[in-house]
Amino acid sequence: MTGSSVAKQLVDAIIANLPEPAPGLRPVHTMGVGVDGYFMASDVARNYCIAEHFRGHRVEVSVRFSNGFGGPKQHDGWSDVRGMATRFHLQGGVKDGPATDLIATTLGEFFARNVEDFFEFTKIARQHPVQRESPWRKILDMLQLKEPVRDPYPKETTNTDAGALSYANRYRFAQLAVFEAAQIGAPVSYTRATYHAIHTFMVEDPHGVRRPVRFSWQPVAGVRTTDPTATPVDKYLRHELEERLRRWPARFMLMMTIGEAGDALDDPTKPWSARRVRVVMGTLTLTNLAKDQVADGERISFNPWRLVPGIEPSGDPILHARRCAYEVSREMRGGCPFIRSQADAK
């Protein structure tokens, strides 16, 4: 496990690279919205995993959708990774009771294999002043058949794009995540994107068989992004969600991909082949925005290690680093403490 001093350094490295300070708020995925809903496991889920929320009864959930950027400014329409953190309330569904979390983003893989990579990334991918590329430079790029540099958005004065690119140019393992993040765009709705939990977890079935798996949420409404050539709108995602849920619940399918011997278990930069067995584990139904956004949108604090019997972390060093980093961040911003799950209590 990664110690708390490293965790503090991780969080400090993130804070040091914020475009502007965000005291009392999350240093990344700062702007978000809490949503209520429930999860129903599929008929087959319990054959693969003994965890309580896969037994088939209705499980109340709290979800927090977020924009990936750190900082107090909201830019829904900018191209950015989005987050979907889900808390399954167990044993009767009491909020603040025993629970398990599943934290996912619209990016399918990470850009760092371990803590050392992460620190180097944060050193290279620093906030840097940005301006529109000159027309002549653009023509030169076109003549070289090069990917154009994105024009800055209105009011965008700095970003980490150039640093992330130079990191990826140096380290091939980071290229997929950096390339995909650059192309990711903005969803028309938080409920119209696929979210990946990225890391490998080990799940245990009723016969004691343990399997390496990766989880993703697939939107029943389908995936759709905004028009990248239109002027981005800063605030629409929360209102869109509220209006959508007023009319009709929104659903996601929880898909679980089963890894094979030879698949990367401990490396979040490596995606698995699309040819692995995918199991439908259940359906999440989102019903309404949480009434208390301070409690369910801000103070609520997720942790990828809030697990239950039946699901264990893999050896992925990034997953291990996140355990304490999220606690440090939570303490710094006065979020809700990490309530120990049954697994922890053991």
Within 13 Å, how many C-alpha atoms sit on residue 322's CB side? 25
b/e 164-195 (16+ beta carbons within 10 angstroms → b): bbebbeebebbbbbbebbbebbbbbbbbbbbb
How long, in residues, is the chain? Answer: 346
* Closest to ligand HEM by CB, 50 or 290: 290
Asked whether position 264 contacts another protein by CB under 8 A, the answer is no
118 binds, options ligand HEM, another protein, none, Cβ within 5 to 8 A by partner type: ligand HEM
CA distance 340 to 346: 10
Instruction: Report 262-291 residues binding ligand HEM (CB under 6 A).
Output: 268
* Closest to ligand HEM by CB, 44 or 339: 339
Asked whether position 326 contacts ligand HEM by CB under 6 A, the answer is yes
Asked whether position 173 contacts another protein by CB under 8 A, the answer is yes
Asked whether position 85 contacts ligand HEM by CB under 6 A, the answer is yes
Asked whether position 157 contacts another protein by CB under 8 A, the answer is no
Asked whether position 181 contacts ligand HEM by CB under 6 A, the answer is no
Concatenated DSSP letters of 205-234: -TTS-EEEEEEEEEETT---B--TTSPPPS
Backbone angles phi, psi at 307, to 5 degrees: -120, 170
CB-based burial of residue 207 (10 Å sphere; 0-12 exposed, 13-18 middle, 19+ buried)?
A: exposed
Nearest to 67 by CA among 200, 181, 230: 181
Asked whether position 198 contacts ligand HEM by CB under 6 A, the answer is yes
Asked whether position 261 contacts another protein by CB under 8 A, the answer is yes
Nearest distance in Å: CB 138, another protein: 5
Instruction: Report 22-51 residues binding ligand HEM (CB under 6 A).
Output: 26-29, 32
Per-position x/- string for 238-257, each x denoting binding to ligand HEM as judged by CB under 6 A, each - no binding = --------------------
Tell me the site size for another protein, rule CB under 8 A: 44
CA distance 295 to 333: 13
Asked whether position 263 contacts another protein by CB under 8 A, the answer is yes
- Interhelix angle 317-333/4-16, nearest 10 degrees: 70
Instruction: Report 106-125 residues binding ligand HEM (CB under 6 A).
Output: 110, 118
Nearest distance in Å: CB 107, ligand HEM: 7
Q: How many CB atoms lie within 10 A of CB 216?
A: 19
3 state DSSP class of 48: helix
* Closest to another protein by CB, 219 or 271: 271
Nearest to 333 by CA among 292, 300, 286, 293: 300
* Closest to ligand HEM by CB, 32 or 232: 32
CB-based burial of residue 274 (10 Å sphere; 0-12 exposed, 13-18 middle, 19+ buried)?
A: exposed
Report the interface residues with another protein, using CB under 8 A.
132, 135, 138-139, 141-147, 149, 151-154, 165, 168-173, 175-176, 178-180, 229-232, 258, 260-263, 271, 273-278
**Rule CB under 6 A: which residues touch ligand HEM?**
10-11, 14, 26-29, 32, 64, 66, 83, 85, 103-105, 110, 118, 197-198, 268, 301-302, 318, 321-322, 325-326, 329-330, 333, 335
